[in-house]
Structure 1
């Protein structure tokens, strides 16, 4: 009996000792032997983060659009967030790689270039547009004679690796002249009642661009240069000798240049024609862009643009920013702002493996680094 009593006392003491030292995962307090210590999960966070963007639209407009986005993230994570628009892809690569920015919104090749130059950079977020994490570049013109058949209202989509014409409301990318209404996609009407022309498309051979003037976006733009130039290379078309070309800097600028008649052909993501249909106050700018600028070919599918991050930042800060952006997209303001900036409708965690196709294209063109 005495032996049983001693054993029971020993078990009780052991249970008490175990109860005196406990940590609850996810809590901010740790109790050890009756002493409570508060653990701040943000202790190793910086006081401010810098979020860099590249100009897919006019730089001053983009700066205005990102301000409410940055304010929302700041409110959600509890530290200051400053948005900066760099001059081009290369500017953001250098900024993120050398500590001038903490997060950056990149096109796929911009990210690949950044990762190759600065291995500490990681891909964090893959954007989604209307359920798809893929997109393509589009070739467009102001010259309908490039078309094999007269252009029609519609859009191009890859099916089995071949471009086909489909209705504008049956493709992944939101097309110019379409807007979401109560019943789904419908004719876009601006605030003053102006109807935006729905985008036109045709099928035209890339061989027809020989001797033409071509507006690329940036040498490091996946949809605005890298994939289109790979198409030309595969067709035996010499970019340096068979066409005249310029890099205009942004997708908006290439659409505007072809609309104005300054270039015969332009490249952009699908569908950057929307960028010049109206101004920031919803007033008509070029509501006829959909009928005047005709899409006649597209590139192979490309992984959507991403948000990359300085890999040395704390993991819980990266997750907090991811969660804030995901939450912002669920708001009416966030849906409108991110549609206006990049056409995002959702996000998912990104995977490095998704970008092998982009690296392959860059290596074939010899543009892995500038």
Structure 2
């Protein structure tokens, strides 16, 4: 009798353990893990109730947030999912937010994408079109009355104040910095007084205010100030350019389901046929359209990244 009772007790506790294990699996397994859709991690079954778009300021951050509202509405309707635009402080913040899956769609510059791909598995889906081109150049600008006439003058003159948007800005810093090093400058910090100002328009403003000797930005960042300063094209003079740079990206976080990635791609491509939305994109980033992109389009950016990787990691 005691042996039979002991057996029953063992069976009872064994059943409890199986139930507990089943509950634990149910609690920690997404619906996709128990489907036959071929997805090993259940990504394609992830429920998306909101998508967050991350911007970095190429102009006044408040203006971007306001200007992006019609784009939010358009994409929300096209995707059937609410879209929320977030203006990030800088590229590093946007990359980190995508790494932690807090931002779904990132408007990343070329270098930001390369770094985000390396650190966070971010995937590029689209690139911008400006003036019918999928590449652009960085621009060197000085005050109109400056004695500086060329990039060679920058090489030959020590102590100049250099205004640029951000250490991770592809056109604002990285490509010009690589060019200046290739032209003979051994140490940028020894040769220049570097001044990171948080935006391409801000870099132009440093020249207008007499706070910098030259600035590096995208081409032509004077456009960002033309409404407020109609004489900006006369007051600021361009002295040179870098080699071509692949255009900015629209990239997505690593764990976003493939089906949603494709829907986002199609929604943004539809902007090419929507004049109102194209005006919005031009107002935000001076884009005239978008085209599909792939990672290999940014190999030249990876070469520049390799030059500064150690410094930027500190």
Query: TM-score, normalized by length of structure 1?
Result: 0.69
| Cross-structure match for 2:96 | 94
The whole-number CA distance in structure 2 between the counterparts of 1:231 and 1:210 is: 16
Q: What whole-Å deviation, never above 9, does each CA across 1:5-64 have from its counterpart, x for those lacking one?
A: xxxxxxxxxxxxxxxxxxxxxxxxxxxxxxxxxxxxx96440100000010111011111
Q: What whole-Å deviation, never above 9, does each CA across 1:203-256 have from its counterpart, x for those lacking one?
A: 864425532111021111110011111111112222111111111111111011
The whole-number CA distance in structure 1 between the counterparts of 2:313 and 2:241 is: 25
| Cross-structure match for 1:244 | 193
The whole-number CA distance in structure 2 between the counterparts of 1:341 and 1:254 is: 17
Structure 1 segment 140-151 matched on structure 2, within 5 A: 140-142=141-143, 143-147=145-149
| Cross-structure match for 1:127 | 128
Q: Is the 8 A contact 1:362 1:368 kept in 2?
A: no
Q: Is the 8 A contact 1:45 1:314 kept in 2?
A: no
The whole-number CA distance in structure 2 between the counterparts of 1:72 and 1:329 is: 13
The whole-number CA distance in structure 2 between the counterparts of 1:288 and 1:325 is: 35
SS in 1 for 2:54: strand
| Cross-structure match for 2:217 | 268
Structure 1 segment 19-38 matched on structure 2, within 5 A: none
| Cross-structure match for 2:77 | 75
Q: Across the two proteins, how many residue pairs are aligned to each other?
A: 268
SS in 1 for 2:68: helix
> Runs of 5+ in structure 1 lacking a partner?
1-41, 149-202, 279-284
Q: Is the 8 A contact 1:209 1:265 kept in 2?
A: no
The whole-number CA distance in structure 2 between the counterparts of 1:110 and 1:258 is: 26
| Cross-structure match for 1:118 | 120
| Cross-structure match for 2:27 | none
Higher helix share: 2
Q: What whole-Å deviation, never above 9, does each CA across 1:294-342 have from its counterpart, x for those lacking one?
A: 1101111110000110132122211211222222232222121111111
2:260 to 317, 337, 360: 317
Q: Is the 8 A contact 2:155 2:184 kept in 1?
A: no
| Cross-structure match for 1:195 | none
| Cross-structure match for 1:227 | 175
Q: Is the 8 A contact 2:139 2:240 kept in 1?
A: yes
| Cross-structure match for 1:64 | 66
The whole-number CA distance in structure 2 between the counterparts of 1:254 and 1:129 is: 21
Q: Does 1:277 align with 2:226?
A: yes
The whole-number CA distance in structure 1 between the counterparts of 2:273 and 2:209 is: 37
Q: Does 1:139 align with 2:140?
A: yes
1:91 offset after TM fit, Å?
0.6
Q: Does 1:215 align with 2:163?
A: yes
The whole-number CA distance in structure 2 between the counterparts of 1:44 and 1:365 is: 37
Q: Does 1:361 align with 2:304?
A: yes
Q: Is the 8 A contact 2:142 2:236 kept in 1?
A: yes
Q: Residue 208 and residue 139 in structure 1: after superposition, are their counterparts in 2 closer, same or farther (change >3 A)?
A: farther
Q: Residue 118 and residue 53 in structure 1: after superposition, are their counterparts in 2 closer, same or farther (change >3 A)?
A: same
Query: TM-score, normalized by length of structure 2?
Result: 0.81
Which range moved further: 232-241 or 359-368?
359-368
Q: Is the 8 A contact 1:59 1:85 kept in 2?
A: yes
Task: Note the aligned Cα RMSD (angstroms).
Answer: 1.7
| Cross-structure match for 1:288 | 231
SS in 2 for 1:313: coil
